[in-house]
Amino acid sequence: MRGVMHMSAQIATDPDALATSRAIGRAALWFSSSMLGVTALIDLAFIPFTGRVDILLAVAALVVIALAVAAALSSRSVRRALCWTVVAAVALFGYASIVTNVSVVFPGSTPSSDYVLVSMPTLAVLLCGVAIRSLKGALLVGTVAFVLGHGLVLVAATLQGMPLALDVPVVASWVGLALLVIAFWHARGITVRGAAVMGAAGYDEIASATAGRFAGAAAEWLRETVLEDLRALAAATPGPLGPDRAAALRRHLADLDDIGPILEESTLAVVPPAAVTPAMLVEVREHAARRGVRVALVGQLSAVTELSSAASRRLQATIEECLDNVAQHSGVDEAEIAVMDGESEISVMVSDAGAGFEPEPAVLDGPAGLRSRLLERLGDARASVQIWARPSAGTAVFLTVGVRS
């Protein structure tokens, strides 16, 4: 009964697919790098037999493809991933132009456009979209990678006079990746919904068990007081109570009006299922940590998921600029982000208890003023920025953006 029991019902989920996308991105990066590395080694082995030094340029193009694929897999936005996919496809075209020319000129039978030294880099480019954290975005980037990558390979083969052929492994891989992404997002939706139901059920079960333990603790406490008093009275000789016994009875009767002794001796707590931090705020906190600032997240954090992807990215960039200012100017290493959900808007306050500053109009509202820069980053006609600051009293930036209809 003297033990301290702290119980929680908490089920890990990944509703924003942040952890899962990172894991898929790392696997895709390893796979694409392996394919491109093997292709580069095979290409280099052809130099002594062909005497073609320009194969080194083809290997350089493979390096560009590897870097572009890595950048696409780590991109936060679909637009940026598309840009890196285009870079990878253009580099693939340069690589294919050199390799197909060597294959056509080299004595012997000429392979068709689906031979392995071209297929392997094309497969690497197809992986550009698998780590995107939205189903539409992943399918879009993957389709662009297939159309541009495979299409430019066919163009390069045609320009060099190489026989054209449908690259069955590439087509099958594209279809397979699309089905895999669709299945993953479908299963993820089922998992998140199931986790919410299981979390609620687990919370109810633990609450019930905790209530039972509390009742047991109360019963034991009553047995140690009331029943002991009754036994003492039954064993006492008839007549007036002694002063010690009377004092003990008065104390125990007073304790019956207060459950404090039970709570002090047996601390039982049920913690509701922990809310999952949205991916955008997780990335904001990681951004701040890289700059040496610890961030406390409070309020209605899930409200930021109501924003469109574009608005969420703009708000994230704005918050990160505020945290950069904390790291550079406040002189403290802690900040707080509070999220408030309104009927048609979301407000975020970034505050610190650092050095602060004198809020002069030129500093806030000039062409390069803080408020002007933050409003420009938010890029929303409905957005507003309020800034409170005093020297040696910290700074608070209050951002408000409209939610999508």
Confidence at residue 240, expressed as pLDDT on a 0 to 100 scale: 72
Q: Which amino acid is at 298?
A: V
Whether residue 400 has pLDDT greater than 60:
yes
pTM of the model: 0.52
Whether residue 360 has pLDDT greater than 50:
yes
Confidence at residue 388, expressed as pLDDT on a 0 to 100 scale: 85
Q: Mean per-residue pLDDT for 285-298?
A: 91
CA-based max dimension of the chain: 124
Q: Give 284's pLDDT tier (boundaries 50, 70, 90).
A: very high
Residue with the bigger pLDDT between 64 and 130: it is: 64
Q: Between the CA of residue 84 and those of 64, 128, 232, 352, what are the distances in Å? A: 10, 8, 85, 37
Q: Between the CA of residue 228 and those of 69, 225, 233, 294, what are the distances in Å? A: 76, 5, 9, 54
Whether residue 84 has pLDDT greater than 90:
yes
Main-chain dihedrals φ then ψ at residue 349, nearest 5 degrees = -115, 125
Residues of the chain with pLDDT > 90, as a percent, come to 26
pLDDT in tens, 241-256: 677 767 776 776 666 5
Q: Give 10's pLDDT tier (boundaries 50, 70, 90).
A: very low
Q: Between the CA of residue 177 and those of 124, 146, 148, 200, 373, what are the distances in Å? A: 12, 11, 16, 35, 41
Give the C-alpha separation, 29 to 72, whole Å.
10
Give the C-alpha separation, 289 to 323, whole Å.
10
Judge whether 380 and 403 are in contact, CB under 8 Å.
no
DSSP letters along 189-217, please?
A: HHHHHHHHHHHHHHHHHHHHHHHHHHHHH
Whether residue 151 has pLDDT greater than 70:
yes
Residue with the bigger pLDDT between 14 and 252: it is: 252
How far does CA 9 lie from the centroid of its chain? 22
Q: Give 267's pLDDT tier (boundaries 50, 70, 90).
A: very low
Confidence at residue 111, expressed as pLDDT on a 0 to 100 scale: 78
Confidence at residue 243, expressed as pLDDT on a 0 to 100 scale: 75
Most confident of 75-79, 91-95, 309-313: 91-95
Most confident of 114-118, 139-143, 247-251: 139-143
Confidence at residue 225, expressed as pLDDT on a 0 to 100 scale: 64
Whether residue 134 has pLDDT greater than 70:
yes
Structure tokens at 376: 């420009």
Give the C-alpha separation, 278 to 295, whole Å.
14
The per-residue pLDDT of the chain, averaged, comes to 79
Judge whether 270 and 207 are in contact, CB under 8 Å.
yes
Domain boundaries along the sequence of the chain: 18-190, 199-271, 279-402
Residue with the bigger pLDDT between 100 and 185: it is: 100
Whether residue 211 has pLDDT greater than 50:
yes
Whether residue 280 has pLDDT greater than 50:
yes
Q: Give 112's pLDDT tier (boundaries 50, 70, 90).
A: confident
Confidence at residue 286, expressed as pLDDT on a 0 to 100 scale: 92
Structure tokens at 54: 């320009």
Under CATH, what is the fold of the domain 279-402? Heat Shock Protein 90 (3.30.565)
